[in-house]
Amino acid sequence: MPYEDEDLLEELVTESNEHLTAIEPDLLALEKEGDQVSSDLVNRVFRAMHSIKGGFSFFGLSHIVDLSHSMESVLMLIRDGEISVTSEITDALLGGVDKLRSLLKDVSASESTSIQEELDPLTAILQVKTEGGVASKAASGPQSATVGGSPEPGDSQEEAEAVAEQLSQSTEGTRSPEAEKTTIPAVSSEKTLVETASSSAEPVANNTPPPTTARRDKHAEGSESIRVKVGLLDNLMNLAGELVLGRNQIKIAISRRFSDAAAAGSALKHIETELSRAQASILALVESRNGADSTAGNKAQQAGIIREFTEIKNALQQIMSMRLIEIPGMSTVMQDINLVTSELQNGIMNTRMQPVGTVFAKFPRIMRDLSKKMGKEIELELIGQDVELDKSIIEALGDPLTHLVRNCADHGIESTDERDRLGKPRQGKVRLRAYHEGGQVNIDITDDGRGINVERIKNKALERGILTEDASKRMTDREAVYLIFAPGFSMAEQISDISGRGVGMDVVKTNIENLGGTVEIESVCGEGTRINLRLPLTLAIIPSLIVGAGGRRYAIPQVNLEELVIVHRQDKDKRIEEIQGNMVLRLRGKLLALITLTDLLNIQSEELIAVPGMRDDDPSPESDSGATSAQKILILKVGTNCYGLIVEELFDSEEIVVKPLSCYLKECKHYAGSTIMGDGRVAMILDVAGIADTAQLKFSDISDEKTQTARKQREIDVEMQPLLLFRNGTSELFALSLALIGRIEKVRASDIEHVGTKEYVKYDHSSMRIIHLHDILPITPREEEPDHFYIIVPKVVKHPMGIVATKVEDILHTDAEIDQINISGQGILGSAVLGGQLTVFLDIYGLFEAVAPEEYGIDRDSPIEALRGLRVLIAEDTSFFRSVESEYLRSLGCIVDTAVDGMEAWGKLSDGTYDALVTDIEMPKMDGFELIERVRASSQLKNLPVIGVTALRSDDVHCRAIDAGVDAMETKLDKGRMLEALANAIQKRSKKQKWIDNSQPSSSEMPASA
């Protein structure tokens, strides 16, 4: 039969591929179940095979039909319990799945591809079963077995399914009864099926064309979805991107117009006052001259002047009343457009999102085959299959992930014997885990194998000439692990066909980096390896910081940006120095290589072009000369290394639409792409790794021993706390922890809207309430109201309120001790003398609670309420955090005790009774990990609820702490989450305690009920 309809065939192929993907894990599950297969599972696989067979028999593609038919027959035997699933059977079925997949790749060539190799094992299985004359029974089995044999009384579920099966079987049956009968005995003799099938199917096919059946299936599963060509989505995505750009341009145009109008307004006002003054003086002049000579003509003339003045004034007033400043309704319209555009963009982006499970799905199979081949026992655990990523990323992720998983199985996991010898569980474990973090998707590949042997890595690198003797000595273990990413490096001691061909890890790294992601690796020799991939959600739109150099603007992806450092002229000599002819920055005890963007790009000064104003909502752009003398340095991250990039200007962050690089610029590794800015101009996107390469930066070169030791010491000794210092119109100085601040906005006083006694500003498409410190705290009110305010927007609070400041003083790193006695009250943490001035430390939570207790106070029903009256120990070496955390807990009525390091905490825990422990991780003498481990190892304390807190979120620390036995990890300063986590931990622990107590006597009943 010729291909009647290419479209139908295409659809059938897509559908069949989906079936194949779906049944692979089911087959693996079947293998696990062995004797006791669940009928659900078999039926699902069976139906999938059945629809593949049915569909293709219509097109007369005999090889596909033969193969799927044999597989179907084997599955039927399994379903009827006639054979149990062995690993050979699974192999045969999986082999069939693979073959079908390759046949489907090029359907037209399928007839000329041999399927014998895959058919033989299947036939063998069938023959064993049908030996002894029942061959014909099994052959005609499909119908009779399902119709008559299988339904078991009492199992209505299965019965229903059997009936369903029957129905679909009979549609099929009427179509090609001949085929069903003849195929199985003839399975090994090729071609028979199609001839019979096509001859017998033809007349019936007109009545019930199989694609309709297939369609019906599909409708039943997901009537809510349709297939859309990816090209169309790409196009929509592109258009949405353009719309975003358009919106940005309109925004700029409007705000420019607003500021023009505002300027015109004030000019008019000025004219009006001048006019009034002129009118008054003319009137006075006229009055004074009236007595002297007042002819009728003069009088008329005077009256005329007065009238003219009045007219001008009226006209002016009329113009002014037209409210040039606002185009009526414009801001609402703009807000709507804003919202709709963003939602549209998100919506379209979501159409391209696919669960990462689609990539994960192939690993159980790969792992099964690998472990069989290598004679290892490996368990694969998949977590987070629902996490979604852009289609293009999902597609590009397959190869690198496969490589990493294979590596785990091949190099990571030891042989079963070796594991036995080492006292490890016989079964090795590989875990793939996807999760969201900080707007990115993380994928962890963890194994509990032998880990990476650093010495061997170094030796191998020396052998291959990747590393010099000298560099090898200086290299830390952590750095050495990264050598496996060097091109041409192979980890395997022996090259196997699974991995170790020396192409691999470097390619993996490049692939991931091309996706805008990063690869991190961490390994403990003898215990295992963890590889962390960090990926953007989508490739098309990335949040970026816009910077300026040489009068041009560049975008730097936010992902690569660690922090911003401003070095003032007076500090320049202290912080920037020259080592071996290279500029370096001293940052918290580390030395970072510095690159000047203008030098890197060879920007010549005569090319300088003025940058069009970017801060349009800011009517008075900062043009202080002080700013130019300060160095603006971006600290950028490449893998585990950082370097500083000196730029001339810093602009806003923007979500930019990435446009691919022109073909002429492929050689320019320092560019990652280009984009169109809000004003319509093109800007280049900088490639952080490319810049390091172009500048020929060698990270290992820059480190003198003195700083290294100094660094180690410092890191343990003090955690410097970055603070924002600001004023509220008086000489009083206030401090807020920078970690709590999301943003600082500059607003005009006239933009503040009053509703009752409350004040609001527009922020992020909606209104945000703002508060004045002097309304809440016992401090001096402002003497005069300036034209502009700064609004400090906190970030860890739900529905934050903005705190009004008149001047932002500085950002300061300090480890100052906070005095909680001298100055205190709700909303105040305490005070300290910073740089010679008394500074009041604010407590955002306390402030908000004071303003709106109903919203920010703790709900009486909240689980946090359970913390009241509990004894909590806080282990924390930094005074600042110790004060903050104590304050948080005290505000809830906890009885708080503190310890300055792990050692002291351990002592206190051993002596006293506490209901919970909140501990810092990095502490001197005994760190948090050790403290937690000790607690868990202690028979008395092992059920103590423990919360770990860190200043900066890091996966690494997070995982280690969880492993050590912490109940939850939270960020310092985030009051709500910290308390919630603590309450949860206490609840969980107390339940567990009870459960263990209750369940012990009756534990023998557990398996029966399960």
Residues that bind other proteins (CB under 8 A): 238, 241-242, 245-246, 550, 552, 601-603, 607, 659, 662-665, 667-668, 670-671, 674, 676, 680-684, 694
Q: 249 or 806, CB closer to other proteins?
A: 249
Distance between CA atoms of residues 382 and 892, nearest Å: 40
What is the distance between the alpha carbons of residues 936 and 610, in angstroms, rounded to a whole number? 63
Q: C-beta of 239: minimal distance to other proteins in Å?
A: 8
Measured between its terminal Cα atoms, the distance across the chain in Å is 54
Cα separation, 899 vs 879, in Å, equals: 10
| CA atoms in the 13 A half-sphere facing the CB of 365 | 19
Closest separation between CB of residue 606 and other proteins, Å? 12
DSSP 540: S
> Shortest distance, CB of residue 676 to other proteins, whole angstroms?
5
Q: How far is the CB of 338 from other proteins (least distance, A)?
A: 18
Strands, sheet with 528-536, edge to edge from the N-terminal-most edge strand: 378-383, 428-437, 440-447, 528-536, 518-524
Q: Nearer to other proteins by C-beta: 508 or 685? A: 685
Q: Which two tokens stand for residue 985?
A: 């931990």
- Residue 244 or 413: the one with the smaller Cβ distance to other proteins is 244
CB closer to other proteins out of 682 and 833:
682
| Strand pairing report for 758-763 and 753-755 | antiparallel
Burial of 271 (0-12, 13-18, 19+ CB in 10 A): middle
> Which among 747, 567, 553, 563 has a CA at the least distance from the CA of 652?
553
Cα atoms in the 13 Å half-sphere on the side-chain side of 653: 12
Phi-psi category of 418—alpha, beta or left, where left has phi over 0 and alpha has psi -120 to 50? Answer: alpha
Smallest distance, Å, CB 688 to other proteins?
16
Q: What share of the chain is helix, strand, coil (3-state, %, to 5)?
A: 50, 20, 30
Extract the tokens encoding 600. Answer: 């890197």
Q: Which is nearer to other proteins, 696 or 939 (CB)?
A: 696
- Provide CB contacts within 8 A for 716, sequence distance 6+: 922, 923, 924
Cβ atoms 804, 789 nearer than 8 A: yes
**Closer residue to other proteins, CB minimum distance, 187 or 245:** 245
Question: For residues 228 and 608, which CB has a smaller minimum distance to other proteins in the complex?
Answer: 608
Closest approach, Cβ 689 to other proteins, in A, equals 16
Q: Which is nearer to other proteins, 662 or 910 (CB)?
A: 662
Smallest distance from the beta carbon of 468 to other proteins, in angstroms? 30
Nearest alpha-carbon partner for 896 in 904, 885, 907, 906: 885
**E strand spans, 619-765:** 631-638, 641-647, 649-657, 671-676, 682-686, 721-727, 733-737, 741-748, 753-755, 758-763
- Cβ closest to other proteins, residue 666 vs residue 798: 666
Q: Closest CB to other proteins among 573 and 667?
A: 667
Query: Which C-beta is closer to other proteins: that of 173 or that of 246?
Result: 246
Q: Decide whether 8 or 245 has the Cβ nearer to other proteins.
A: 245
Number of CB atoms found within 10 A of residue 114's CB:
10
Q: Smallest distance from the beta carbon of 671 to other proteins, in angstroms?
A: 7
The residue type at 77: L
Edge-first strand order for the sheet with 788-794 is 741-748, 788-794, 802-805, 766-771, 758-763, 753-755
In the bound complex, what is the minimum distance in angstroms from residue 487's beta carbon to other proteins?
24
> Least distance (Å) from other proteins to the CB of residue 516?
19
Q: Is 58 in contact with 202 (CB distance < 8 Å)?
A: no
**Shortest distance, position 889 Cβ to other proteins, whole Å:** 54
Q: Minimum distance between the CB of residue 330 and other proteins, rounded to whole angstroms?
A: 24
The overall longest dimension of the chain from CA atoms, in Å, is 144
Q: How far is the CB of 348 from other proteins (least distance, A)?
A: 15
Select 125 or 683, whichever has its Cβ closest to other proteins: 683
